[in-house]
Structure 1
Amino acid sequence: MYIQIHNQIKQDIEAGKWKIGDRIPSERDLAVTFGVSRMTLRQAVQTLVDEGVLERRIGAGTYVASQKVQEKVSGVTSFTDLMLAQGKQPSSKTISYHVAKPSLSEIEKLKLPEDAQVLRMERIRYADDVPISFEVATVPYSLISSFSKSEVTRSFYHTLEHKGQYILGGAQQTVSAMLASERIAEYLDIKRNEPILRLRQVSFLQDGQPFEYVRTQYVGTRFEFYLER
């Protein structure tokens, strides 16, 4: 249900019902409009916030996000390899793992037909048992249907390369700042509204096929991005 609401709000924004900088109705009003609980409505809105479509302003409500200045970051590196290169032991905790219909955003990012299915998984990623990030990753189910859950959740990129014999290509990445929601703060052992870094990434195989759309929220005091020109 929250995906359907996500899609409708996104369609309304694209149709011009709300423009960049406009405040959308309160969660209470939207819940009444869609005939759902505030919890379901909040999940739909939070998904749009995570995708950068909406933005929350403390004490002021939720607004259609303005376009940000973008910095290009190149390369595709797995979390596992990144942590090992830093001399840290990577690990992860899977919060959810299920096959579902894709949202409009997922269809657009992964260039999927509307009748496709995707694997959507949520994980907390750790370095030496310290929570570093929370991620929501969406992958075309047809790409990983022959892999086991452990093969996907343990080290997805390694499984693609070594078992699937896929060659990884580049990625499109967007990094921005936001405040931790109550849920994310609990997962990452930080305070609510603490600054965090948000990475939205679409990863591609060497032939240009997108194979992953991931939204990751990093603890700002435990992780930094390094750009090399």
Structure 2
Amino acid sequence: MPGGAAIHPRPLPLWQQVVDMIQRNVEEGRWPVGHRIPSERELCQQHGVSRTTVRLAIAEAVSRGLLHRVHGKGTFVARPKIHQPLVQVTPFAAALRAQGLVPRTRLLAVMTQPADPATAHMLGLPTGQEIMRFRLLGLGSGEPVAAYHSTVPAALGEAVLERLEADAGADRFRLVVDVLAETFGWSHLTAEQTFEAAGASAEEARLLGLPRGAPVLVVTSLVRNPAGRTVEFARAVYRADQYRFHLTRQIEVSGQDHES
């Protein structure tokens, strides 16, 4: 049968069999990234199942990140999500390269201004002391995947700006934290991070090529140098359709008393 093996009655639900067929076609390269899959009607005819079964299967394949829908155009094979473990902070460029993508950053804007009370508190500065805000766009093989907003003390930011401007037009990926570590010779940094789901703002949607309100993953970070001083407050907005975080944790089981 075109597009995979025929579906046969067996204990596994029919919709799950269709999902397995979709996954095989994607993983074995019969349906490459960007390929428009057969219509619901065609899948029903190919595999002898109902339209309800096909719709359930496609919905599950979309939820797994195998497919994505484009309104008015059809359903297509999705690009594999960028996978980043959380045991340690993996450089975003490395996560992109692991997916076969070419990482690059683009400096969008820089602003110097007095620190408001909230920002001053986060950076451990007096209110009103100058800070620098950087906006960057992260690209994977030319496609926008993340928007970055970074705030640093102005005393550190001037050196960052000089290096980022020197990189303008170069095919490389460097975030503010990378430049800080390189400029000041910090061998290690620590990051206190929070993760949340959100809807893309109008500006984020424009930068990332998404509809306004589309789901995004937001990571905020307080970065400290080896001396424990906070050197950056950062907010990264990732496309939820192209990015996922992975975490393996030990589970401590309580409430089980054992007597010898």
For Structure 1 versus Structure 2, the TM-score category normalised by the shorter chain is 0.5 to 0.7
- Summarize the Cα distance change of 1:119–1:79 in structure 2 as closer, same or farther, 3 Å threshold: farther
**5+ residue gaps, structure 2:** 1-85, 250-260
The correspondence for 2:155, drawn from 142, 146, 160, is 142
- Summarize the Cα distance change of 1:77–1:174 in structure 2 as closer, same or farther, 3 Å threshold: same
1:76–1:203 CA contact under 8 A, matched in 2:
no
- Summarize the Cα distance change of 1:224–1:151 in structure 2 as closer, same or farther, 3 Å threshold: farther
The correspondence for 2:220, drawn from 200, 209, 228, is 200
1:152–1:159 CA contact under 8 A, matched in 2:
no
The correspondence for 1:225, drawn from 215, 226, 245, is 245
Please, what TM-score do these two structures have when normalized by structure 1?
0.61
2:131–2:157 CA contact under 8 A, matched in 1:
no
Q: How far, CA to CA, are the matches of 1:210 and 1:120 in structure 2? A: 15
Q: How far, CA to CA, are the matches of 2:179 and 2:196 in structure 1? A: 29
Q: How far, CA to CA, are the matches of 2:133 and 2:239 in structure 1? A: 22
Report the more deviating stretch, 148-157 or 209-218.
148-157
- Summarize the Cα distance change of 1:87–1:159 in structure 2 as closer, same or farther, 3 Å threshold: same
Residue 79 of structure 1 corresponds to: 92
1:180, distance to aligned residue in structure 2 (A): 1.2
Q: How far, CA to CA, are the matches of 1:109 and 1:222 in structure 2? A: 30
The correspondence for 2:231, drawn from 198, 211, 217, is 211
Residue 95 of structure 1 corresponds to: 108
**5+ residue gaps, structure 1:** 1-72
1:203, distance to aligned residue in structure 2 (A): 0.9
The sequence identity of aligned pairs, in percent, is 22
1:93, distance to aligned residue in structure 2 (A): 2.3
Which amino acid counterpart does residue 108 of structure 1 have in structure 2?
H
- Summarize the Cα distance change of 1:221–1:174 in structure 2 as closer, same or farther, 3 Å threshold: same
1:99–1:120 CA contact under 8 A, matched in 2:
yes
1:76–1:169 CA contact under 8 A, matched in 2:
no
CA-to-aligned-CA distance 1:10-44 (integer Å, 9 cap, x gap): xxxxxxxxxxxxxxxxxxxxxxxxxxxxxxxxxxx
The correspondence for 1:133, drawn from 146, 150, 162, is 146
1:78–1:157 CA contact under 8 A, matched in 2:
no
Q: How far, CA to CA, are the matches of 2:230 and 2:87 in structure 1? A: 15
Residue 34 of structure 1 corresponds to: none
Q: CA RMSD of the aligned region, Å?
A: 2.2
- Summarize the Cα distance change of 1:173–1:185 in structure 2 as closer, same or farther, 3 Å threshold: same
The correspondence for 1:189, drawn from 183, 206, 209, is 209
2:159–2:183 CA contact under 8 A, matched in 1:
no
Q: How far, CA to CA, are the matches of 1:113 and 1:167 in structure 2? A: 27
1:141, distance to aligned residue in structure 2 (A): 1.4
CA-to-aligned-CA distance 1:83-108 (integer Å, 9 cap, x gap): 33444211122221121112322212
1:152, distance to aligned residue in structure 2 (A): 8.2
Q: How far, CA to CA, are the matches of 2:157 and 2:113 in structure 1? A: 14
1:192, distance to aligned residue in structure 2 (A): 1.3
Q: How far, CA to CA, are the matches of 2:104 and 2:184 in structure 1? A: 22
Q: How far, CA to CA, are the matches of 1:166 and 1:199 in structure 2? A: 22
1:199, distance to aligned residue in structure 2 (A): 0.8
Equivalenced residues, count = 157
Does 1:113 find its partner at 2:126?
A: yes
Q: How far, CA to CA, are the matches of 1:128 and 1:191 in structure 2? A: 21
Q: How far, CA to CA, are the matches of 1:78 and 1:106 in structure 2? A: 25
Q: Which one has a bigger Cα radius of gyration?
A: 2
1:151, distance to aligned residue in structure 2 (A): 5.6
